[in-house]
Structures are given as structure tokens and as C-alpha cells.
Structure 1
Amino acid sequence: MRPERPGDAPAIRAVHEASFPTGAEARLVDLLREAGRLSASLVAEVDGRVVGHVAFSPVTVEARSVGAGLAPLAILPTHRRRGVGAALVAAGLDACRSAGFGWAVVLGEPDYYGRFGFRPASASGLSDEYGGGDAFQVVELTPGSLPAGAGLVSYAPEFASLG
């Protein structure tokens, strides 16, 4: 695991294109990078080849509190079920904590993300703009930093490109 470096963009794009049915997530990462909104962008390498990527970008609650949004996470199909995704998520959360983010959100599979401490955000009074229900989850990275009851969590404007 390592932070994204200059020159990694084509390999990161290829990982996302191989992992999702459309190029939307690959475009999203490119747009976040161009806008300077990749708060944490990590890759997993095997034998010098990028096989996985995770991105975190700023999210806000009522413009009062800034957290990190995990999205997207992609692993090449040939490298799935080997712990690559879990290692990327854990390293990414550590990077967000080190960067001063007190909390993070994800819209994803509760059973998968629960192992990293994520829990339904609705239990903390948080909601998302995509109607994710229990799939919209939050984890507190720094004790006492979670904006409980704060309302709607807004993602970076580049997420609107996903349609």
C-alpha cells in the first residue's frame, strides 16, 4: 500500500474500469484529482503493478463539519478476495486520521465495512443525498468528533457526475 504518485493515474483508471460496469467511477476519480479533492488516494501494488485503489474526498455536514468520504474502492478481479481491499480501506482510514479528519462515511455493504468500525449513519442522525439507508455508514476516527444529529452529509460536487 502506498499513496498515489504522479504517473499512477492511467493505472488507477484501468483498475476502476476493470472493476465497474461503466467508466463512471474512473471518471469520478479523475475529476476529484483535477479539482484537488482527493484527500487520500492509495494504491495497492503487486510486483510493481497497481492492482487496487481507494479514494477519500471531503464531505460536509451543514457546512459545519468536514469528514472524509470513502469512494470509490476498486480491486482488479484477479486480485479480489485476497485482503487487498481490506488493506486499502484500513490504510486509507489511517491516512484520513493522520490528515486530521475526525470521521468518515461510506455508502456500501454494511457487512463488509462494519469490520472497520462503520455503522449505520442514521443512528447518529446523519443522512446522505443518495438515499442509501443502512448502506450509508459512518465511523468516528477521532473520539468526540462525530457530528451527531447534524443532518445531511454532502459529497464533493464531482459525485454528481455519476448520475
Structure 2
Amino acid sequence: MSVWIRPAHDDEIDAIAALNTAAFGQSAEGKIVRRLKRDGDSVLSLIAHDDSQIVGHVQFFRIQIDGVPLAVGLGPMSVLPARQRQGVGSGLVRTGLLALEGAGETRVFVLGHPDYYVRFGFSAEMACNFAAPWNGPAFMTRALTDAAPASGTLTYPAAFEAG
């Protein structure tokens, strides 16, 4: 069954939260998506739909570098378990990165599986130049333009605070 990608609508937040719970087996990611939307920190929210239901979602949110809103974070990204490994997630990530580049965003960060996100141009080595709440091989970044900041201290939205 084919899938199409479009921006999420405001009235789909409950379905998106439920999708995240199904994909991750817990409610934490759905709560993050709700809080990002509520707090105004969402930059881009895309869904994948198969004409009967939402089968995937990717969230992009604002990150500050040295106190200035210069970057975007990717996550959570979720796909219904029955639709995983069918290209839904890849389509969401690629579409999101193109849209962000077209909107003039300069840099994207992700905390995720290195073997997965490296295929989209993300690099843990480049992320080492940034002071962030996370580090290691799962913390990666990708520049969308040559003018992207090359270092700095990252501030994540309140949605990612523990508790």
C-alpha cells in the first residue's frame, strides 16, 4: 500500500501521540510531541498516511546555539510496527530535511541509531564540536548550508527535560 507525506494537522495530535506509543512501546515520545506543540517549539511535524491511517510521523523542533535559535532537532520519528522497514521513516526524514533546507534552516541534530541516520548525512564527528546534553556515537548533526554554525552550546526545549 502506498504512503503519502504531508504536514500534520493540529487535530491529529492524539493520533500522532498514539502512533509514538505504538512505535516505542511507551508514552514518553508522545508526551514530547504534545509538549513541543503546546510550547511553540515545533518547527515541522510531518505524517505519512496510507489513505486509511497515519502510519508514520517525524517531529522537528527548535534548538538554540549559544542562546540563538539557529538549529533544528529531529525526533521523535515513529512508524507503526507493521509498517517499519518499508521506507516510511526514510521518506519522512528526507522530506523533512528538504523542507527545512528550503525554509532556510542551517543545521539539524539527532539522537538516534548511528547506522540509520548516517545515510542521511548525519555525523557524530561533527556533533563533537557542540556542547549538548548528549554525546557519543548516537548524537549526530548535519549541516544544511555552508553557513551553518560549526560549534556552540546547544539548548533543547523544555519538552526534553527529565520528569
TM-score, normalized by the shorter chain, greater than 0.5: yes
Q: Is residue 124 of structure 2 the alignment partner of residue 140 of structure 1?
A: no
- The TM-score normalised by the length of structure 2 is 0.90
Q: CA deviation at 1:15?
A: 0.5
Q: CA deviation at 1:121?
A: 4.8
Query: Equivalent of 2:56, from 52, 55, 58?
Result: 52
- Take 1:118 and 1:134, find their aligned partners in 2: how far apart are those partners? 11
Classify 1:123/1:16 alpha carbon distance in 2 versus 1 (closer, same or farther; 3 Å): closer
Q: Is residue 158 of structure 2 the alignment partner of residue 157 of structure 1?
A: yes
How do 1:64-75 and structure 2 match up within 5 A? 64=68, 66-75=70-79
Per-residue CA deviations over 1:16-60 (Å, capped at 9, x if unaligned) read: 010113211101100111111110000000123101100000111
How do 1:6-85 and structure 2 match up within 5 A? 6-64=10-68, 66-85=70-89
- Take 1:68 and 1:16, find their aligned partners in 2: how far apart are those partners? 20
- Take 1:78 and 1:135, find their aligned partners in 2: how far apart are those partners? 25
For 2:42, what is the secondary structure of its paired residue?
A: coil
**Number of residue pairs aligned between Structure 1 and Structure 2:** 159
Q: Gaps (5+ residues) in structure 1?
A: none
Could you list the structure 1 runs, at least 4 aligned residues long, displaced by more than 4 angstroms after superposition: 121-124
- Take 2:8 and 2:151, find their aligned partners in 1: how far apart are those partners? 34
Query: Equivalent of 1:86, from 84, 87, 90?
Result: 90
Q: Gaps (5+ residues) in structure 2?
A: none
For 1:133, what is the secondary structure of its paired residue?
A: coil
For 2:59, what is the secondary structure of its paired residue?
A: strand
Q: Residues 56 and 80 of structure 2 are in contact (CA less than 8 Å); yes or no, is this contact kept in structure 1?
A: yes
Q: CA deviation at 1:63?
A: 1.2
Partner AA of 1:100 in structure 2: G
For 1:134, what is the secondary structure of its paired residue?
A: coil
User: CA RMSD for the aligned pairs?
Assistant: 1.6
- Take 1:123 and 1:61, find their aligned partners in 2: how far apart are those partners? 12
Give the percent of matched residue pairs that are identical in Structure 1 and Structure 2: 37
- Take 2:28 and 2:155, find their aligned partners in 1: how far apart are those partners? 19
Q: CA deviation at 1:124?
A: 5.5
